[in-house]
Amino acid sequence: MDSPYTIRGSLRHASRLVAVQLLYQIYQSGAEISDVLNQFERWYAESLEEKGGEPQSVPVAPKASYKKVDSDFLRRLVEETQEKKNLLKEVVSPHLKETWTWERLPSILKSILNLALYELLYEKTPKPVVVNEYIELTKNFFDGDEPAFVNGLLDSVLLPE
């Protein structure tokens, strides 16, 4: 039986959730992208094999688990976001309030924002879909004002001054 927080949405939604976790792992450990992705892919393949083609439901956030991912989309998100992380930081930094710097943000929030910005700037996904997706993903990790913070920051980046 699924937990009350199982991600039932699209493969892309689940892929975004896993991408947040993988980027967080990279930021926290300093591990190489290829190592983190390969480790996840090995685990995912073993999970598929154990369940006869159906991956097990695995908790990947305090309030979420997933069953299937779009592996190509996941890999592209993680690799491209990490490759462009300095540019993405430059895009978002002017929109942060004076009391907050990029360095002061929690790593999980940096993961969410970097992925959202990458997708907004480089993918063809409609912008309202991207903003909504990352607000919802933020809710998997935070109970406070962080989803509103992500919404406001992404809106600020998208809206011309």
Buried b (16+ CB within 10 A) or exposed e, 116-143: bbbbbeeeeeeeeebbebbbbbbebbbe
Which pLDDT score is estimated for 71? 85
**Helix pair angle (146-158, 107-122), 10° resolution:** 30
Q: What is the pLDDT of residues 126-156, one digit of tens each?
A: 999 999 999 999 999 999 999 999 999 999 9
Whether the CB-CB separation of 65 and 7 falls below 8 Å is answered with: yes
Which pLDDT score is estimated for 56? 55
Domain 11-158 superfamily per CATH? NusB-like (1.10.940.10)
In 51-145, which ranges are continuous DSSP H helix?
A: 71-83, 85-92, 107-122, 127-139
What CA dihedral angle connects 76, 77, 78 and 80, to 10 degrees? 70
Residue 118's nearest CA partner among 84, 159, 152 is 84
The yes-or-no verdict on residue 59 having pLDDT over 60 is no
Query: Where exactly are the structural domains of the chain?
Result: 11-158
Residue 14 pLDDT class (50, 70, 90 cuts): confident
The yes-or-no verdict on residue 159 having pLDDT over 90 is no
Which pLDDT score is estimated for 60? 53
Residue 1 pLDDT class (50, 70, 90 cuts): very low
Please compute the mean of the pLDDT values over residues 27-39 and round it to a whole number: 91
Q: pTM of this prediction?
A: 0.83
